[in-house]
Amino acid sequence: MPNRTSSGSAAVAAILKELKAAGTERKRAAAVRVGIPMDKAFGVSVGDVRATARTLKGRHELAQPLWATGVHEARVLATMLADSKTISRVDIERWQRDIVSWDLCDHLCGNLVRHRTDAADLVRRWITSRALYVRRAAFAVIAELAVHGKDLDDETLADFTQLIVEHSGDARPHARQAASWALRSIGKRDAANHERALTAAAELLEATGATKRWVGRDAMRELESLIKVRERGRLLTSKSKTGRKQLRRTAHKTG
């Protein structure tokens, strides 16, 4: 376990040593199979990185030097340790430009960006970028906010939905998959947003571009399977364990 009282450089060295010891060739191979570059990585599971983060809770000052190492797992850890209220927007965007994998992009968005008060502004800024992982970040933040942004207003959700429709023509897999993820996440939020997402998916299905049609089809498959589950605000897919249980309960009542 890294020494919580160590100076910055000593703590980072200890953390890198721990991460390296936790790495395995099996995990490296698994990461490569899902498109995560492992040329500067140890092959550590996200669960192990999170365990390390728990021992370092509150050590925001380690985030920048961990990121500076360039080691994949150290950068994932940096997104977990950085204080969203303290780290500057300049640094967030600098980190964003360093990203070369979909998973690190998603960790940055899910662990850090979604907690920021300017998250929606970053979405609007990033979604027009041609840089792959900047554009993916915009979609990822939409997805994260749709799930976790309890105070997200209807106007912002409508704006996000329109942004997805407008910018989902990027044929690169890590962009189009994130566009579908964002639209599906909005659709799961509640009944009103389900209707909004279905309408957007239907619009995409009629688009002239093949990629937009792909996003529409991919999103529609899950959106059409969503059901309301008792005592849950968000909609769930009927193919999930909880969703199947709800369908059986409904069938029993009507049978």
| Residue whose token pair is 């189009």 | 176
Cα-Cα-Cα-Cα dihedral sign, residues 241, 246, 247, 248: positive
Structurally, at CATH architecture level, domain 100-224 sits in Alpha Horseshoe (1.25)
Among 180, 182, 193, CA closest to 219: 180
Q: Which has the closest alpha carbon to 183: 228, 227, 218, 133?
A: 218
The pLDDT value given to residue 115: 97
| Cα–Cα distance measured from residue 252 to residue 145, given in angstroms and rounded to the nearest whole number | 36
CATH 1.25.10.10 range(s) for the chain read 100-224
Residue 54's identity, in one-letter code, is R
| pLDDT surpassing 80 at residue 127 | yes
Measured CA to CA, the distance from residue 16 to residue 191 in angstroms comes to 46
pLDDT over 90 percentage in the chain? 78
| DSSP class per residue in the chain | ---TTS-HHHHHHHHHHHHHHH--HHHHHHHHHTT---TT-----HHHHHHHHHHTTT-GGGHHHHHHT--HHHHHHHHHHS-TTTS-HHHHHHHHHH--SHHHHHHHHHHTGGGSTTHHHHHHHHTT--SHHHHHHHHHHHHHHHHH-TT--HHHHHHHHHHHHHHTT--SHHHHHHHHHHHHHHHTT-HHHHHHHHHHHHHHHT-SSHHHHHHHHHHHHHHTTEE--TT-SS-EETTSHHHHHHHHHHHHHH-
Q: What digits encode the pLDDT tens for the residues 131-186?
A: 999 999 999 999 999 999 999 999 999 999 999 999 999 999 999 999 999 999 99
The predicted pLDDT at position 6 comes to 56
Question: How many alpha carbons lie under 13 Å from residue 78 in its C-beta half-sphere?
Answer: 27
Tell me how far CA of residue 137 lies from CA of 33, 127, 215, in angstroms: 21, 8, 17
Q: Is the pLDDT of residue 48 over 90?
A: yes
pTM, two decimal places: 0.87
Q: Are 146 and 157 in contact (CB under 8 A)?
A: yes
Band of residue 229 on the pLDDT scale cut at 50, 70, 90: low
Per-residue pLDDT at 252: 45
